[in-house]
């Protein structure tokens, strides 16, 4: 959806609220009080009322907007900008676009949406052949937890990330679009997970949470991957001395997507702290995984209207990203 279409479809608060209510009406809802599933809509109060126990809940309850003071239209604008732009958008840019005085609320709003994106991708597992490798991402050190960092004053540290990408050999049926690519494999879905260390147990746990056990995994055969043969249907480990050969022929996509993701994060967001890196990775992967869809706004809205973020107000007070 382009900007013209967006402003036509959602010119004001009422149009956004009506649209959001239609989404909520169509979804299964559960009363948090008695677990009832049948509701009346009380038009005067703009709440759903449980038919059993008369518990009332707002339109925003049980969605990404729960507890939010932002208007529906402000949320819709953020959904639109986060789903329609190819590059990531910084919270300060979003603050400017919304004309908001305070940065923090806008930043939290965006983190909640990234959180929902991650939860959505978490519903699916990577399948068939999956490239797996560990990468280092630059993050800000966290020792200043109680004091917001001054821009440029934080010191950099490296955070380990497990990068996983479905990849397969290119077949003639893929057509010219794929074949013209310089890489000899094609990529499917991707995921990235922050990991605390490189121990085999840590990496196996992270990989099995994301990759279907019936899949085959492709790695550079380092010691952290020793358990893969026990938990996946297959494990191709390439331990050739020519590291570059392995990267370009066997593990091209984990390196390509990690490179793009780093560039995107470093180019847009200043000083991402380790504890928030996962949210930015989730946004990158979510958008990458839907790169061929032109209804990303609708998809994002559907996810956001049925999912409560783990991210809460006040989470990591000192964040200066
Ligand atoms: Zn109830």
pLDDT tens across 160-189, in order?
Answer: 999 999 999 887 777 665 555 577 889 999
How many angstroms is it from 25 CA to the middle of ligand 1?
Answer: 16
What's the gap in Å between 155 CA and the centre of ligand 1?
Answer: 51
Neighbours of 192 (CB within 10 A): 28
Residue 64 Cα to ligand 1 midpoint, Å, equals 21
Ligand 1 center to residue 69 CA distance, Å?
25
Give me ligand 1 centre to Cα 62, in Å: 14
- Chain-centre distance of CA 320, in angstroms? 20
CA of 95 to the centre of ligand 1 (A): 38
Pick 188 or 248 by higher pLDDT.
188
CA 28 – ligand 1 centroid, Å: 14
Going from the Cα of 34 to the center of ligand 1, the distance in angstroms, rounded, reads 4
Strand ordering across the sheet containing 39-42: 39-42, 47-50, 56-58
pLDDT score at 271: 76
- Write out pLDDT tens, residues 229-242: 999 999 998 887 67
- Ligand 1 centre to CA of 76 (Å) is 29
Expressed in angstroms and rounded, the spacing between residue 303 Cα and the centre of ligand 1 is: 24
Q: How many CB atoms lie within 10 A of CB 36?
A: 16
Compute the radius of gyration of the chain from its Cα atoms. 22
Ligand 1 centroid to Cα of residue 33, in Å, is 5
175 or 254, higher pLDDT = 254
- Mean pLDDT, to the nearest integer, of 148-153? 48
Do 195 and 177 contact (CB within 8 A), yes or no? no
pLDDT reading at 94 higher than 90: yes
CA of 47 to the centre of ligand 1 (A): 13
Q: Which H or E run contains 39?
A: strand 39-42
Tell me how far the alpha carbon of residue 313 lies from the centroid of ligand 1, in angstroms. Answer: 26
Q: Ligand 1 centroid to 29 CA: how many Å?
A: 11
Cα–ligand 1 centroid distance for 50 (angstroms): 5
Residue 169 CA to ligand 1 center (angstroms) comes to 53
36 Cα–ligand 1 center, Å: 5
pLDDT above 70 covers what percent of the chain? 89
* CA pair distance 125, 193, nearest whole angstrom: 13
Question: Is the pLDDT confidence value at 146 over 70?
Answer: no
Predicted pLDDT at 148: 46
pLDDT, one tens digit per residue, over 271-282 is 788 889 999 999
Indicate left, alpha or beta for 271 from its phi (over 0: left) and psi (-120 to 50: alpha). left
Percent of all residues in the chain with a pLDDT value above 90, rounded to a whole number:
65
How many angstroms is it from 51 CA to the middle of ligand 1?
A: 7
Q: Which residues fall within 8 angstroms of residue 72, CB to CB, at 6 or more apart? A: 13, 16, 17, 20, 65
Q: Give the Cα separation of 233 and 216 in Å (integer).
A: 5
Output 320 or 244, whichever has higher pLDDT. Answer: 244
Mean pLDDT of 302-316: 79
* 213-231 tens-digit pLDDT: 999 999 998 888 989 999 9
- Residue 74 is inside which H or E element, if any? helix 72-84
Residue 145 has a pLDDT of: 47
Q: From residue 253, how far is each of 14, 72, 249 by CA, in Å?
A: 44, 38, 10
pLDDT in tens, 31-64: 989 999 999 999 998 999 999 999 999 999 999 9
Q: Residue 86's pLDDT is what?
A: 83
Would you say 91 and 103 are in contact if contact means Cβ atoms under 8 Å apart?
A: yes
Query: Is residue 155 predicted with pLDDT exceeding 70?
Result: no
Residue 151 above 60 pLDDT?
A: no
Element (H, E) at 161: strand 156-169
* Domains of the chain (ranges, CATH numbers): 1-59 (no CATH), 129-295 (3.30.420)
Q: How confident is the model at residue 318 (pLDDT cuts 50, 70, 90)?
A: very low
Please compute the mean of the pLDDT values over residues 142-171 and round it to a whole number.
71
In the prediction, which pLDDT does 154 show? 53
Q: How far is the CA of 48 from the centre of ligand 1 (A)?
A: 10
Output the pLDDT for position 269. 81
241 burial type by CB count under 10 A (0-12 exposed, 13-18 middle, 19+ buried) = exposed
The model's confidence at residue 144, banded by pLDDT at 50, 70 and 90, is very low
Average pLDDT, the chain: 88
Ligand 1 centre to CA of 38 (Å) is 8
Report the pLDDT averaged over residues 284-289.
96
Burial tier of 28 (Cβ tally within 10 Å: 0-12, 13-18, 19+): exposed
Query: Which tokens belong to 214?
Result: 């019936």
């Amino acid at each position: 959806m382009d900007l013209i279409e967006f402003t036509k479809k959602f010119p004001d608060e009422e149009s956004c609220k009506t649209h959001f209510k239609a989404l909520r009406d169509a979804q299964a809802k559960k009363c948090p009080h008695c677990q009832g599933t049948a509701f009346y809509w009380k038009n005067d109060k703009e709440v759903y009322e449980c038919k059993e126990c008369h518990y009332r809940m707002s339109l925003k309850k049980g969605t990404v907007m729960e507890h939010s003071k932002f208007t529906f239209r402000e949320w819709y604008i953020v959904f639109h900008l986060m789903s329609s732009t190819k590059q990531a958008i910084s919270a300060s840019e979003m603050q400017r676009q919304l004309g908001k005085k305070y940065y923090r609320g806008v930043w939290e709003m965006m983190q909640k949406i990234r959180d929902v994106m991650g939860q959505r991708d978490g519903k699916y597992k990577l399948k068939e052949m999956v490239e797996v490798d560990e990468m280092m991402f630059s993050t800000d050190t966290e020792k200043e937890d109680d004091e917001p960092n001054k821009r440029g004053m934080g010191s950099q540290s490296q955070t380990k990330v497990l990068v996983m990408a479905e990849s397969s050999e290119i077949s003639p049926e893929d057509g010219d679009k794929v074949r013209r690519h310089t890489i000899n494999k094609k990529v499917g879905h991707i995921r990235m997970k922050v990991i605390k260390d490189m121990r085999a147990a840590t990496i196996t746990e992270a990989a099995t949470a994301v990759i279907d056990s019936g899949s085959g995994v492709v790695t550079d055969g380092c010691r952290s991957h020793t358990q893969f043969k026990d938990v996946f249907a297959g494990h191709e480990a390439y331990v050739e001395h020519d590291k570059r050969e392995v990267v370009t022929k066997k593990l091209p996509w984990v390196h390509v997507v990690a490179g793009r993701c780093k560039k995107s994060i470093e180019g847009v967001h200043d000083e991402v702290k380790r504890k928030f890196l996962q949210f930015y990775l989730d946004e990158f992967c979510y958008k990458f995984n839907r790169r061929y869809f032109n209804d990303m706004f609708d998809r994002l809205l559907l996810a956001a209207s049925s999912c409560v973020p783990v991210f809460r107000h006040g989470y990591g007070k000192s964040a200066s990203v």
